[in-house]
Amino acid sequence: MLAAVAALAGTTGAAPHPDGPAAAAVPTALAATPVLRLTFDEQVSWRSGSVVLDGAGSARGTVVGRGTLTSVGGGSGRGVRYPCATCGRVVVEVPDDPALDPGTGDLEVAVDVRMTREESRRTMNVVQKGYSNETGGQYKLQVDYGRPSCVIRSSRGRVLVEATSTTADVADGAWHHVACVRTASHVSVLVDGVVRARRAAVAGVLANAAPLRIGGKNATSASNDQYRAELDEVTIRIGG
């Protein structure tokens, strides 16, 4: 696998150590204006059917499922608490929009998360567009057992990047900014602005007809990988 990665890196002119933290010239976050930003700054409770506004006050998402999202002190302003382990399943769905599909371009999926160790003891999908078998591909940011990881599936295949080190652990009860960044040559997991895992991967076409879902893959399914902690500031950026 490493040889394959090196070969891919060689074809794209990437740094000589594509998986190492010393790799240079790899953007770690996109400067592009967000195509979506959900701030959760309203101090309300969201139930099934509730509308979720973006940072400009426009309706962008809808709460789906059986459960309640409650307002909490957030990573910036207010944030939202997802249902506890016995409190139902719920996701925020943002309808499909071509603006949320990177095509062959750069992509950043970012979110602030806060969870305790106990809350972290499960697999949790935080932000995703598309299922694993979705026509057109999938992007997904998840936190499994307190460690963030990113899945990017495009016309060039599926890439899973897991941040497994203790430095990437986000289950300490504090807010952490987690991001998945895809560039032309790499997929990276960032925690609080620091690259904690990275793999070389040539960017393929990623564009699907699925909604963006926040907090789970499908609220109607028991195997929802339901998020059961706090989150804030869901941000999607697409670059050239």
CB of 148 to Ca ion, least distance (A): 19
Structure tokens at 185: 């040559």
CB of 216 to Ca ion, least distance (A): 20
Binding of Ca ion at residue 39 (CB under 5 A)?
A: yes
Amino acid at residue number 165: S
Find the binder of Ca ion among 27, 55, 77, 136 (CB under 5 A). Answer: 77
Size of the site for Ca ion (CB under 5 A): 7
CA–CA dist 77, 220 (Å, integer): 30
3-class SS string, the chain: CHHHHHHHHHHHCCCCCCCCCCCCCCCCCCCCCCCEEECCCCCCCECCCCEEECCCCCEEEEEEEECCEEEEECCCCEEEECCCCCCCEEEEEECCCHHHCCECCEEEEEEEEECCHHHHCCEEEEEEECCCCCCCCEEEEEEECCEEEEEEEECCEEEEEECCCHHHCCCCCCEEEEEEEECCCEEEEEECCEEEEEEECCCCCECCCCCEEECCCCCCCCCCCCCCCEEEEEEEEEEC
Binding of Ca ion at residue 232 (CB under 5 A)?
A: yes
Find the binder of Ca ion among 61, 74, 105, 130 (CB under 5 A). Answer: 74
Interface segment toward Ca ion; rule CB under 5 A; list 94-102, 122-130, 147-155, 228-236 = 228-236
Interface segment toward Ca ion; rule CB under 5 A; list 67-75, 129-137, 171-179, 223-231 = 67-75
Binding of Ca ion at residue 11 (CB under 5 A)?
A: no
CB of 38 to Ca ion, least distance (A): 8
Binding of Ca ion at residue 55 (CB under 5 A)?
A: no
Interface segment toward Ca ion; rule CB under 5 A; list 10-18, 73-81, 192-200, 211-219 = 73-81
Binding of Ca ion at residue 144 (CB under 5 A)?
A: no
- Are β-strands 194-200 and 230-239 bridged in parallel, bridged antiparallel, or unpaired? unpaired
CB of 177 to Ca ion, least distance (A): 12
CB of 113 to Ca ion, least distance (A): 12
Interface segment toward Ca ion; rule CB under 5 A; list 4-12, 72-80, 114-122, 222-230 = 72-80
Binding of Ca ion at residue 148 (CB under 5 A)?
A: no
Contacting residues toward Ca ion, per CB under 5 A: 39-41, 74, 76-77, 232
